[in-house]
Amino acid sequence: MPTEPTTSHSTQTQTQTQMPTRAQTQAQTPAAQRAPNTDGIWYASYAPGVPHEIDASQYTSIVEFFDECTTRFRDRVAYVSVGESLTYGALARKATAFAAYLQSIGVKPGERVAIMLPNTFQYPVALFGVLKAGAIVVNVNPLYTVRELSHQLKDSGAQTIVVFENFAKTVEDSLPGTRVQNVIVTGLGDLLKDGLNLKGKLINGMLRYVKKLVPAYNLPQAVPLLHALATGYQRTLAPVQIASTDLAFLQYTGGTTGVAKGAMLTHRNIVANLLQAKVWAESQLTDEIETVLTPLPLYHIYSLTVNAMIFMGLGGRNILIANPRDTKRVMKILRHETFTGITAVNTLYNAFLDNEEFRSRDFSKLKLAMAGGMAMQKAVADRFREVTGKPIIEGYGLTECSPIVSMNPVDLKQMREFDGTVGLPAPSTQVRFRKDDGSWANIGEAGELCVKGPQVMKGYWNRPDETAKVLDEEGWLATGDIGVMDSRGYIRLIDRKKDMILVSGFNVYPNEIEDVIAMHPDVREVAAIGIPDAAQGERVKVFVVRRNPSLTEEQVIVHCRKNLTGYKVPKVVEFRDELPQTNVGKILRRELRDQELAKHQSS
């Protein structure tokens, strides 16, 4: 992997040692060195005006971008939460005060600061405050268990954490063995209003004493966020020199398939990705204030880049949803809002479409409905278009790519039927598909999707061995996803490499089975896995959440026989009330496989 310029943060340089490359750990055939005939064919399919390349040096850092946006849009509303608004100007003041406070307690550039917050005003204040102090953001899922949080704090070496008081008990139990010294605690109502903030105090009291959603905790070193901000307002933020190659985030990934690893995302990675998306979508947007519905957590890379960063560049409003699974509460919030954009995953769109109030909304102002994070099922996409009159624009990305790799065109005047593709490679992005023999695939040939571009991560934090498995010496990132490119340059994903089911020597992809079963009107959600079979190696089992309680196993299998070849048809159907999901609604096949394997081993 080409060596990047030395970072200005001494604490970061410790991790940037020379590492073995993928090429040193995996032999490749000479054919792998020849460019395939897919290179660059996607440019002909770009919408008019979309450039082939972007200038990733336009901003030196996310902080420079943030300062420009908050100055330009000072009086506009940046975020809406619990019926209150936070302007760009107020966000800048609070983030600067928080950065000054961090400096006052000794947080140095390059140190890791964990943020364990849901979608509330506190998140962007903490996020940009940490970045302005030159520190590295370690995003943490507030729903983590003690084991998961302890691993992430130890692995990242974070010395400071900002946490919602609802989850402070988890932090307390996770601290042994970590380097955490500073804990900043906040409640939902803290930043709703300046001054007396009677509404915020009432909300905090309700959550603490009436609903009892704040478990008792003992963190004597904890400092209230309001106190931290008050201290920061009294100080002047010392200038911090931030290089484009400095780390901005340790974004943990892999928790659904193994031990979570920290993807090292630089300021340049994130800036490049937001600029790639901006030039792609700006023809669809106007000078009007765009309002985006943000039900996905901002600590997730998809929402972080698209909602927090890209819409900031547009001076847009983010409607923050703290708990998207509470559909009734979401609809109550939306009664007083009109949004022009929405980002969600397949399961969340499905849940919204099952809500009568959502279906009866006026969608005439909707411009962009974006999907990512998991495969979009045709049944859900078709239903969304039927209800709203607008398509879902599906893209593809992964944490290691900040996250966007490819996107479908967004011009609603030329709406395409949903065809399951995840679009064209973004500007300044190269995409190839590596076959099992190490050679590059050509048009129509399947292989592991590999990516090269300015948004590709620096590597995994303190894991040169894991980095070498996915990044080769030329900078190609192996994604672990199997896909194919057509003659127009559009990418179609087949499935995760690790999720493939092998039935009597035939490759069976869970996405295809799930997409077929999801077309059945009585199915709400579905997951497909492979289970051990003495004769076939593996057989297909599906887990189904019914929309209609009368749906039977035989009806599911008959439906599959009409739409799938014989070896792909599930042999076992299990009905469940719900399926295990990640914090953003991605169904956890691995957890289902683990459950089945445990049953198989105990039998």
Task: Tell me the per-residue pLDDT of 377-429, one tens digit each, with 9 for 90 and over.
Answer: 889 999 999 999 999 999 999 999 999 999 998 876 666 677 889 999 999 99
Query: Using CA atoms, how far apart are residues 252 and 400, in angstroms rounded to an integer?
Result: 9
Task: State the average pLDDT for the chain.
Answer: 89
Domain 500-602 CATH assignment equals 1.10.3720.10: no
Q: Does residue 255 surpass a pLDDT of 80?
A: no
CA dihedral 124, 126, 127, 129 (to 10 degrees): 110
Give CATH 3.40.50.12780 domain extents, the chain.
20-59+256-495
**What confidence category does residue 283 fall into, taking pLDDT thresholds of 50, 70 and 90?**
confident
What 8-state DSSP symbol labels residue 326? Answer: -
Q: What is the CA radius of gyration of the chain?
A: 24
Q: What angle do CA 241, 247, 175 make, to 5 degrees?
A: 110
pLDDT of residue 2: 34
Six token digits for residue 539 = 């057989």
| pLDDT, tens digit, 9 for 90 and up, residues 473-504 | 999 999 989 899 999 999 998 877 778 787 87
pLDDT score of 73 more than 90: yes
The second-level CATH assignment, the architecture, of 20-59+256-495 is 3-Layer(aba) Sandwich (3.40)
Q: Where are the beta strands (DSSP E) in 462-571?
A: 477-485, 491-496, 501-503, 506-508, 523-533, 537-546
Assess contact for 490 and 518: CB atoms under 8 A. no
Report the CATH number of the 85-242 domain: 3.40.50.980
**362, exposed or middle or buried, with CB in 10 Å at 0-12, 13-18, 19+?**
exposed
> Does 133 have pLDDT greater than 70?
yes
CATH 3.40.50.980 residue window(s) in the chain = 85-242
CA distances from 54 to 41, 68, 72, 249, 475 (A): 18, 19, 22, 22, 18
Residue 19 is predicted with a pLDDT of: 35
Per-residue pLDDT, averaged over 34-40, amounts to: 79
**Three state DSSP letters for 330-396:** HHHHHCCCCCCEEEECHHHHHHHHCCHHHHCCCCCCCCEEEECCCCCCHHHHHHHHHHHCCCEEEEE
Least confident range of 25-39, 147-161, 198-212, 351-365: 25-39
CA distance 465 to 172: 32
Q: In a 10 Å sphere around its CB, with 0-12 CB exposed, 13-18 middle and 19+ buried, how is residue 11 labelled?
A: middle
The whole-number pLDDT of residue 31 equals: 43
- Comparing C-alpha atoms, which of 585, 81, 142 is closest to residue 318? 81
User: 76-95, pLDDT tens digit by residue?
Assistant: 999 999 999 999 999 999 99
- Mean pLDDT, range 26-48, rounded to an integer: 72
Taking Cα atoms as reference points, which of 431, 409, 423 lies closest to residue 477? Answer: 431
- pLDDT for position 500: 78
- Cα–Cα distance measured from residue 319 to residue 294, given in angstroms and rounded to the nearest whole number: 6
Residue 404's Cβ-count burial label (10 Å; 0-12, 13-18, 19+) is buried
- pLDDT at position 517 is 95
pLDDT of residue 414: 61
Q: What is the pLDDT of residue 603?
A: 66
Which tens digits make up the pLDDT trace of 307-335? 999 999 999 999 999 999 899 999 999 99
- What is this structure's pTM? 0.82
Helix (H) / strand (E) element for 98: namely helix 88-104
Q: What pLDDT does residue 499 have? A: 83
